[in-house]
Amino acid sequence: MLKATDLSFSFARRGASGPRVIDGVSLDVERGTVVGLLGPNGSGKTTLLRILAGVLPPRSGRVLIDGHPIEQLTRRELARRIAVVPQETHSTFDFSVIDMVLMGRYPHLGPFELEGAADQEIARDSLAATGTAALETRRFGTLSGGEKQRVVIAGALAQASDILLLDEPTTALDLGYQLEITALLRRLNTERGATMIVSTHDLNLAAALCERIVLLRQGRVIAHGTTKETLTAETIRALYDVDADVQFHPLAGHLTVVPIARPR
């Protein structure tokens, strides 16, 4: 469904030399799968998501959706295929929750067209799917961090895109909200068949949610494959320079990762 081939990117100006933030990255994401993107700070995860979303053009390589190069799609067409959930969302204006979610309908509206009854219904269905229907009339700025994140995900659902790109969806959330967001994303994948790429530092989130893992270090893929094959003590050490214990937890129903120490 989504295919990236030999992507490279540098923030240096065209024609100038500079370090590559992304260097020869290739990946395939099949429809209905959840792929985790793991790596230390500065490894290029957010930059890669921005390239996949069509926000940044790669210096080399291509991104295809169902075989079509994304640079050949209009912004409106691309928004119908890919929705982005950023680390944080700040609203300049004091929008209500329903207004924030209705913004996801803009790619489906014509010039100067206002949202209709069908758009309102889709927005409310998206709020219900994320457990935020009771917040519809609240002002976005009054919500807690976990509530805001669920509302932003509702907006991405209302966008009715084929693929969700999520950048650190549980960052700065307490443990309860982390579990809520993880359960929500798992449910959206199971019930709606949502295809996701999730960038995260949370190895246990990746273990609980993702079917496949891509490990990124210094802009390069050092390992990729199924979660069971890829999330191992050896690869974690190669990725983070940290010794970790990786075991299947029978109560959690997935691998768990416990960092132990920096190797000497």
Domain ranges, ordered by start, for the chain: 2-89+162-261
CATH 3.10.180.10 fits 2-89+162-261, yes or no: no
Q: Check residue 108 and give its pLDDT.
A: 86
Identify the band that residue 155 occupies on the pLDDT scale cut at 50, 70 and 90. very high
User: Distance (Å, rounded) from C-alpha 146 to C-alpha 202?
Assistant: 16
Q: What are the CA-CA distances from residue 258 to residues 204, 226, 263 (Å)?
A: 9, 19, 14
- State yes or no: pLDDT of 132 exceeds 70: yes
- Decide if 79 contacts 107 (C-beta within 8 A): yes
Q: Check residue 15 and give its pLDDT.
A: 63
Q: Check residue 101 and give its pLDDT.
A: 94
- State yes or no: pLDDT of 51 exceeds 80: yes
Tens digits of residue pLDDT in 214-238: 999 999 999 999 999 999 999 999 9
- Higher pLDDT among residues 113 and 248, named by residue: 248
- State yes or no: pLDDT of 107 exceeds 90: no
Average pLDDT over all residues of the chain: 90
**E strands within 111-194?**
163-167
Identify the band that residue 173 occupies on the pLDDT scale cut at 50, 70 and 90. confident
Find all residues with CB under 8 Å of 155, minimum gap 6, and list them.
83, 100, 101, 103, 104, 126
Out of 123-127, 167-171, 220-224, 249-253, pick the least confident.
167-171
Classified as helix, coil or strand, 203 is: helix
Question: What is the mean predicted confidence (pLDDT) over 8-34?
Answer: 87
**The model's pTM:** 0.88
